[in-house]
């Protein structure tokens, strides 16, 4: 499973929009736009998971710096989540 970071999203872009854009390149297992916990508004980025790494690489190369929802999106392979200290 390859996780892809998608940044610079329009606040109107939905998870379904991401699913549709990336499915042109292969099977999308999951697409998720990250939203603010309190307001529910998009934070302007999201993640897409694709099961085939070759298809994922094709999607990254084809969609990086291309328009989606009126903005040129940034697309690259997601980095593993790092450990963060607990907040009190």
Q: Is the pTM of this model over 0.75?
A: yes
Q: What are phi and psi of 61, to 5 degrees?
A: -65, -40
CA 78, chain centre distance (Å): 9
Q: What's the pLDDT tens digit per position in 5-61?
A: 999 999 999 999 999 999 999 999 999 999 999 999 999 999 999 999 999 999 999
Q: Which structure tokens are listed for 79?
A: 């980095």
Tell me the domain boundaries of the chain.
2-77
Task: Answer whether CATH 3.40.50.720 is correct for domain 2-77.
Answer: no
């Amino acid at each position: 499973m390859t996780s892809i970071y998608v940044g610079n999203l329009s606040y109107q872009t939905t998870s379904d929009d991401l699913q549709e854009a990336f499915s042109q390149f292969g099977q999308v297992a999951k697409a998720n736009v990250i939203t603010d916990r309190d307001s529910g508004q998009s934070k302007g980025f999201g993640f897409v998971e694709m099961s085939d790494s070759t298809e994922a690489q094709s999607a990254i190369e084809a969609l990086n710096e291309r328009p989606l929802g009126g903005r040129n999106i940034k697309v690259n392979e997601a980095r593993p989540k790092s450990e963060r200290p607990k907040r009190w």
